[in-house]
Amino acid sequence: MFKHLVAGILVSASLLIMGPAAFALQAGGVEIGDLETGSVVGQSFKELDVDAQLFAIEIGTVKSWYPPITVIDFKVRPGRPVLLKVTNKSAGERGFQMTDAVNDRAPTVLKAQVVLKPGETKYIGIPTSDLFYATQGNTLTYRDHLNPKDPGGTLLMIK
């Protein structure tokens, strides 16, 4: 009986120790919505500053996400969730997908994905902890998942 009690305590203690690392990506996950109704980890999108604006654009026959490189410096930024504003300025429907290209098949990878109608804007909220634990390095890539051959871009995180 005593052995079972000790084993139970050890298992419980090890789960408590491993818990935060094992569930790091459960901090809130990616939330997609409108400025008025969206929220991430209990914070309304309209209470957050927009960290980056990304646009689906067309230049002649080339469709792309602009800008091609987006930088967020976390050394000077408070630890609040990241808020991205994505807008489709193209004539047709466009997709937006952001993920860690190196680690995109892992079950714990961060993946934000939305389809935007022409002229539509959506907001993507991501807990900072999810950004840091979901990537192997300091970059996430974004692209049009509906048109995977079109140029995308890179989100560079300075940690």
Walking along the chain (159 residues) 10 residues at a time, the average pLDDT comes out as 46 38 49 94 94 96 95 90 97 93 67 95 93 80 94 93
Q: Do residues 29 and 116 lie in contact, with contact meaning Cβ atoms separated by under 8 Å? A: no
Domain ranges in the chain?
35-158
> What pTM value is reported for the model?
0.79
Residue 77 has what pLDDT?
Answer: 87
For the domain with range 35-158, which CATH number is right: 3.50.50.60, 2.60.40.2470, 2.60.40.1930, 2.60.40.420? 2.60.40.420
Mapped onto helix, strand or coil, the DSSP state of residue 14 is helix
